[in-house]
Structure 1
Amino acid sequence: MRIISGKLKGRRINPPKNLPVRPTTDMGKESLFNILNHHFNFNGLSALDLFAGTGNISYELASRGVESIVSVDTDQGCINFIKKTAKDFDLNIISHKADVFKFLEKHQSSYDLIFVDPPYNFTQEQFEQIISNIFNNNLLDEEGMLIVEHSKFTKLDHLPNLSFERNYGGSVFSFFEFESEKEN
């Protein structure tokens, strides 16, 4: 796993093998950030990384200048790895060990970018609940973007605020924005 752009471009990250994760591939991450580069200047933004796993997306955001990042995962090993890596690279990432559903119920800050990468075995209802909770609890800034990574078997194209989707192999990124017009 490597950081693909920004001040830490090219840095390798080697998480422990025993973490229960499925990191976003470098190809998928590069494609995702090519899209985000057309929508945002990362300097000064705030981001929330849910189901953060190894922190792969959080490090990429920090490397590109995102000012404030909160990473959430249920696994203590993942949280420990994120904390250690953030300290080693001097990154402003705050990590929380928490159930994402409970975190979303209680959390009151809003973010410019929210990235959600739950386990692919989540049910359709669980994916929909996460997206609904983010919008209903005003966790996304008005001009912000919610990105959900999911398998091609999970369908989110019927949900409100979906702007567009991009497929990369077996993975799909669904992009949600307030009052969005669907792109082709």
Structure 2
Amino acid sequence: MRIISGKYKGRRISPPKGLPVRPTTDMSKEALFNVLNNHFSFDGLKVLDLFAGTGNISYEFASRGSSPITSVDGDFGCVKFIKQTAAEFDFPIAATKSDVFKFLEKCNASFDIVFADPPYGLDQATFEKVVLLVFEKNILNEEGMMIIEHSKYTKLNHLANFSFQKSYGGSIFSFFEFESEQEIEGDSLENDGEEE
């Protein structure tokens, strides 16, 4: 995988084999950050990356100047790799080994961006629980945005604070805001850039 923009644009990061991950593709990642670029200045954004896996999304935010970044994953190998990579690049990333739901229950911090990429195989209720906890625990700042990556078989557009979604290949990004300003994305439920 590679960093697509920012200070470390073009740098490749090679996670060890055997990690239980499904990294966001470069195409999907670039599309996601194009959307975010229309809403935020990345410099100084406080970011929470849930089910962080290899840290792919965290590195992208860090390369663009976001700080601090908290990466949460339940796998020891993933957290170890994120810590190693953050140290190598001097990224402001704090990697935490924790069950995501336990982390959210105890979290007393708030963030400008909350990104979550749960395993696609989890059931509908589990995906919904991630979103609900973030809003119930006031983990998202008032002007912030939550993004959850999921497959086309998971539907989240009925949840409170849903704003819009974008589809790229087999991945869908659902965006949530406190004020669901649908006019931001007029084609809120349209699929953009979908591969055949």
The two structures have a TM-score, normalised by structure 2, of 0.93
Amino acid at match of 1:18: G
Taking only the aligned residue pairs, the percentage that are identical comes to 66
Distance 1:27 1:169 in 2: 9
Query: 1:169 Cα deviation (Å)?
Result: 1.0
Amino acid at match of 1:113: I
Distance 1:168 1:153 in 2: 14
Amino acid at match of 1:28: S
Distance 1:181 1:161 in 2: 9
Distance 1:15 1:91 in 2: 16
Distance 1:125 1:42 in 2: 31
List gaps (5 residues or longer) in structure 1: none
Answer yes or no: is 1:154 the counterpart of 2:127.
no
The two structures have a TM-score, normalised by structure 1, of 0.99
Query: 1:43 Cα deviation (Å)?
Result: 0.7
Query: 1:17 Cα deviation (Å)?
Result: 1.1
Distance 1:175 1:27 in 2: 18
Counterpart of 1:18 in 2: which secondary structure? Answer: coil
Answer yes or no: is 1:85 the counterpart of 2:85.
yes
Counterpart of 2:58 in 1: which secondary structure? Answer: helix
Could you report, residue by residue, the CA deviation over 1:32-84 in whole angstroms, capped at 9, with x for unpaired residues?
A: 00000000001111000000000000000000000100000000000000000
Distance 1:170 1:63 in 2: 26
List gaps (5 residues or longer) in structure 2: 188-196
Distance 1:117 1:88 in 2: 24
Partner of 2:192: none
Query: 1:181 Cα deviation (Å)?
Result: 2.8
Amino acid at match of 1:67: S
Answer yes or no: is 1:38 the counterpart of 2:45.
no
Larger deviation: 174-183 or 98-107? 174-183
Partner of 1:115: 115
Partner of 1:181: 181
Could you report, residue by residue, the CA deviation over 1:127-174 in whole angstroms, capped at 9, with x for unpaired residues?
A: 111100000000000000000000011000101111100001110000
Amino acid at match of 1:47: V
Amino acid at match of 1:19: L
Answer yes or no: is 1:70 the counterpart of 2:89.
no
Could you report, residue by residue, the CA deviation over 1:7-40 in whole angstroms, capped at 9, with x for unpaired residues?
A: 0000000001110000000000000000000000
Partner of 1:136: 136
Partner of 2:22: 22
Counterpart of 2:153 in 1: which secondary structure? Answer: coil
Partner of 1:145: 145
Answer yes or no: is 1:98 the counterpart of 2:95.
no
